[in-house]
Amino acid sequence: MSNECACSAAPKLIFACSGAADVGAMSDQAARKLAREGAGKMFCLAGVGGRVSSIMKTTESAATILAIDGCALDCVRNCLEQAGITAFEHLRLTDLGFEKGESPVTDEAVEKVVTRGRELLSKETCA
């Protein structure tokens, strides 16, 4: 058996807050843009919460997981952790200076999140 890294075959997954607040909308839009650009594949957080077998298997085999939360409630982080997924990069929009309820969803704001998301998705996770 080879000890070579198999990361290139494993997916990079993106889970995003899609909550009702402006920061939730921004998280969702940033995740969709990252997916369109090919940085990773946006994946179903509800499937993780519901412990859907195929979604759990794919998530557990991911090379990299990016969790994008809008605010300090960390719904994405908590959902993943409660499902036993602990190896992931975490991006919280309020840590980037966005304030819940006070942050218009603009192209510039979404791009700021996308830029940080790209950085986190590009981290090498293979040993």
Domain ranges, ordered by start, for the chain? 31-120
pLDDT in tens, 50-96: 999 999 999 999 999 999 999 999 999 999 999 999 999 999 999 99
Helix (H, G, I), strand (E, B) or coil at 47: helix
Q: Give the whole-angstrom CA distance, residue 3 versus residue 36.
A: 32
CA pair distance 100, 75, nearest whole angstrom: 14
| pLDDT value, residue 123 | 82
Question: 10 Å Cβ neighbour count for 48?
Answer: 23
Does this model's pTM top 0.75?
yes
